[in-house]
Amino acid sequence: MNATLHNLAFIEGIGGPELLMIMFIVLLLFGGQKLPEFAKGLGKSVREFKKAASNVEDEFKRALEDAPDKPVAKPLPKPPAVTPAKVTTIDPSRD
Which mean pLDDT values do the consecutive 10-residue runs of the chain (95 residues) have? 57 80 86 84 93 92 77 75 72 66
How far, in Å, CA of 67 to CA of 64, rounded? 5
Q: pLDDT at position 52, please?
A: 93
Domain assignment present for 87: no
- Residue 31 forms part of a structural domain: yes
Within a domain: 83: no
Question: One-letter amino acid identity for 49?
Answer: F
What pLDDT is stored for residue 43 in this prediction? Answer: 93
Q: Is residue 18 part of a domain?
A: yes
Assess if residue 79 is contained within a domain: no
Domain count, the chain: 1
Residue burial 61-75, b: 16+ Cβ < 10 Å; e: rest: eeeeeeeeeeeeeee
Q: Is the dihedral of CA 49, 53, 58, 59 positive or negative?
A: positive
> Residue 26 in contact with residue 35, Cβ under 8 Å?
yes
Q: What is the pTM for the complete model shown?
A: 0.43
Domain assignment present for residue 81? The answer is no
For residue 80, tell me if it sits in a domain.
no
Domain that holds residue 49: 2-70
Q: Is residue 86 part of a domain?
A: no
